[in-house]
Amino acid sequence: MLAMKYLICLLIFSMKLLAQGQMNSPLPAERFYNDREGSSPFIQKKERSLIAEWEDKVSIDQTKEIFQHALSRYNPSNICAYNLMTDLMALSSQYGKPKSFLLALRKNDVIDDIVLATLLKNFHVLNSKITFKYELTMKLGEEEQKVFKEYFPSNPKLNTRCIDESYKVWKAKMNISDRSVRADSIQVAYQENIINYQVFQKLYRTNLANIDKDYVTLRDYLSKKQELRDQKPILPSERTTLIAQKVKGKNSSYRSQLYQRYDVVQIMFLADIINKLQEHLASTKMILQIYNKDETLLRSIELEEMERFRFALKFLRKEMLELSNNAYFFGQSISYMDLISAAFEVGLISTKDIDEVAKLETLWNPRKTLYEKAAVWIRLAGSVGTLLIPPPYGFAVALGLVAIESSAKKSQKIVSPDYSLF
């Protein structure tokens, strides 16, 4: 009995060591590999010439080797985009421009857009210039000093976070919305010797780049991605441009937004909604059963084809809303593209189907047609025009307006007709 207890303890201890060992072993380049994104929005005409410039001098194998060499001193627990970018700049600048190097990595799918965006942002941080203001007279309060000391200790061994991670939590604690005021507080912290010059440089530049906007840290991204791949292995060749497109009004893609806003469990919940949608769409029978007070079946109503389709969409929208209100999502509003990105990320939709499944949103959220956008102005101009044209020629304008109204394409929203249950 005692021996059994010792054996179990030994087993748990060795598993812990194994896990730690995995966390401390060097990161293979395969972890960064692009397995989901189609053509990159980062690579346009100008970038293609930069890539060509790089590829003229350096072969793809050499490029990969440079990348792997830089990764050699990092493991899943200490990976840091700022430090990695510093190393990549040092290694790649012997052959060409670091930006060209990064773009070449992306073009050859050695890295994906999320890694590229993170590294590019840190590249801009490293290249930005500090403009010293005149000596500031403001003083930091005790609380503010504490925050600086907590997240940027003078002994670097005490800080296990990467600068982007530290910046994010520091910014939240400081609670200063204005970037220039934050910059001033950083300068004052340096003036008062709360932080040293090295930390000051990093922090000042990071603040200047506003790095936490539309940004996911490498450590966060790689750990979530690995966990998702472990739970739901995917086919390697399934890539799509849809989720790599930039979200309107933001500087990051749908896929990047997914990793920024949600953790692994949340992503699985989101993907499950699309899974249910697909099951409902593929279903060949749906029956509504109505029961009496005494739990005897009163009647069964089999849904028709179109009713099943509309039911599937209604159910999806209901689930989306309920998930938003779920305590685990903390009231975050969930968009349909979040569901699509999550489902594709875990391999629940194929590249063949993703575009069409994504377009389903137009049924309950139609895009306004050109006519609908212009309709207000057409009617206004028409009304004013009729005042200026003498009668009876105003007939022509009225006829024109009617002709435009009847023939113009209007956006179609899903309606549940009276002869249909859904």
Partner 1 sequence: MKFLCLLLISSSLFGKEFPVVIRLPNFKIDIQKKVLVDLESSSSFDGKYFKIVEGTSDEPISFDAPSNLLLKAATTYYHLSFAREYFSQRVQSPKIQKLKKMTIRIDITREFFALSRFANENKPLVYNTATTIPAGVGFPSRGVAPWDMEIWFRPKKAIHIDDLKLRTNLGQIDALFRVFREQVHMMSFQRFMAGVIGQTVNNQSPSAIKTELFWQSSLRIAESSLLMELFYQFRDPLTKLTSRKYFWLETALIPEVIYHEFSHVAMSDSLVLTHDSPVVEGLADIFAVMISGNSKIATNIKKYNTFSGKKAKRKQDYQLQFETSNYANSDFVLGLLWQVKDIIGEELAPRFMFRLSEKLRSSDNIRNQLVKGIRETCEEVCPSPTTQNIQILKSFVIKKM
Q: Which is nearer to partner 1, 43 or 414 (CB)?
A: 414
Question: Please, is 53 exposed, middle or buried when counting C-beta atoms within 10 Å of its C-beta (0-12, 13-18, 19+)?
Answer: middle
Q: Which is nearer to partner 1, 133 or 413 (CB)?
A: 413
Residue 410 C-beta: closest distance to partner 1, Å: 11
Residue 118 C-beta: closest distance to partner 1, Å: 33
> Whose structure tokens read 């500031």?
136
Residue 270 C-beta: closest distance to partner 1, Å: 20
3-state secondary structure of 289: strand
Q: Which is nearer to partner 1, 322 or 355 (CB)?
A: 355
Q: Which is nearer to partner 1, 129 or 285 (CB)?
A: 285
Residue 108 C-beta: closest distance to partner 1, Å: 29
Residue 285 C-beta: closest distance to partner 1, Å: 10
Q: Which is nearer to partner 1, 142 or 356 (CB)?
A: 356
Residue 306 C-beta: closest distance to partner 1, Å: 5
Q: Which is nearer to partner 1, 20 or 411 (CB)?
A: 411
Positive or negative: CA dihedral 32, 34, 40, 44 = positive
Half-sphere exposure of 237 (CA within 13 A, CB side): 1
Closest by alpha carbon to 198, among 186, 211, 213? 186
Residue 228 C-beta: closest distance to partner 1, Å: 23
Q: Which is nearer to partner 1, 331 or 392 (CB)?
A: 392
Q: Which is nearer to partner 1, 146 or 367 (CB)?
A: 367
Q: Which is nearer to partner 1, 15 or 235 (CB)?
A: 235
Relative orientation angle of helices 197-209 and 179-191, to the nearest 10 degrees: 180
Positive or negative: CA dihedral 370, 373, 378, 381 = negative
Q: Which is nearer to partner 1, 265 or 389 (CB)?
A: 389
Q: Which is nearer to partner 1, 293 or 352 (CB)?
A: 352
Residue 398 C-beta: closest distance to partner 1, Å: 4
CA distance 188 to 208: 15
Angle, CA of 118, 122 and 127, to the nearest 5°: 150
User: Which residues make Cβ contacts (< 8 Å) with residue 231, sequence separation at least 6?
Assistant: 264, 268, 346
3-state secondary structure of 299: strand
Residue 395 C-beta: closest distance to partner 1, Å: 6
CA distance 52 to 66: 17
Question: Please, is 169 exposed, middle or buried when counting C-beta atoms within 10 Å of its C-beta (0-12, 13-18, 19+)?
Answer: middle
Residue 114 C-beta: closest distance to partner 1, Å: 27
Residues lying near partner 1 in the complex (CB under 8 A) are found at 278, 281-282, 304-306, 309-310, 352-353, 355-357, 359-360, 363, 383, 386-387, 390-392, 394-395, 397-399, 401-402, 405-406, 412, 414-415, 417, 419
- Structure-derived torsion over alpha carbons of residues 397, 402, 406, 410, reported in degrees to the nearest 10: 80
Token pair recorded at residue 143: 């609380």
CA distance 31 to 34: 9
- Structure-derived torsion over alpha carbons of residues 288, 289, 293, 295, reported in degrees to the nearest 10: -150
CA distance 195 to 154: 6
> Whose structure tokens read 């029978």?
285
Residue 291 C-beta: closest distance to partner 1, Å: 25
